Amino acid sequence: MTSNPARLQAIAAVQACTPPPFTFDPGEEPGEIFGENVFSLTVMQKRLPKSVYRSVLTTIEKSAPLDPAVADAVASAMKDWALEKGATHYAHVFYPLTGLTAEKHDSFLDPVGDGTALASFS
């Protein structure tokens, strides 16, 4: 069997690869940071007007329709929360009628012709 030089190069590159440095604080307990980047009910309660939060809870708990104005308020609060945490992109998971899951990835930033970007969310 003849050796493939490209294959041997790829194997050598993988073997030479070093993992990135440890990025977590070894003193942190997993329970201290678990879920800290989730727009949870607790976060919503702190950031949304009471009437909006109650409407969201009714939708979650009783499957009530979500008023578009409430959805806009939640989206705005979520965007502000995410940008404060340094987010530049977001994704949402949905369940099409195929029985599978799907994701849509998007950005908070819209490129401008001069090489800069504007933060936006609609």
pLDDT in tens, 66-80: 999 999 999 999 999
Query: Between residues 80 and 92, which one has the greater pLDDT?
Result: 80
Candidate from 47-51, 82-86, 105-109 with smallest mean pLDDT: 105-109
Mean pLDDT of 16-37: 79
Angle, nearest 10°, between helix axes 50-62 and 68-84?
110
Whole-structure pTM over 0.75, yes or no? no
Q: Smallest Cα–Cα separation from 121: which of 90, 91, 79, 92? A: 79
Counting residues of the chain whose pLDDT is more than 90, the rounded percentage is 42
- Cβ atoms of 56 and 44 within 8 Å: the answer is yes
Mean pLDDT of 10-33: 81
Question: Does the structure show a pLDDT above 60 at 25?
Answer: yes
Question: Does the structure show a pLDDT above 70 at 99?
Answer: yes
pLDDT of residue 107: 87
- Cβ atoms of 54 and 70 within 8 Å: the answer is no
DSSP state of 31: H
Candidate from 18-22, 43-47, 76-80 with smallest mean pLDDT: 18-22
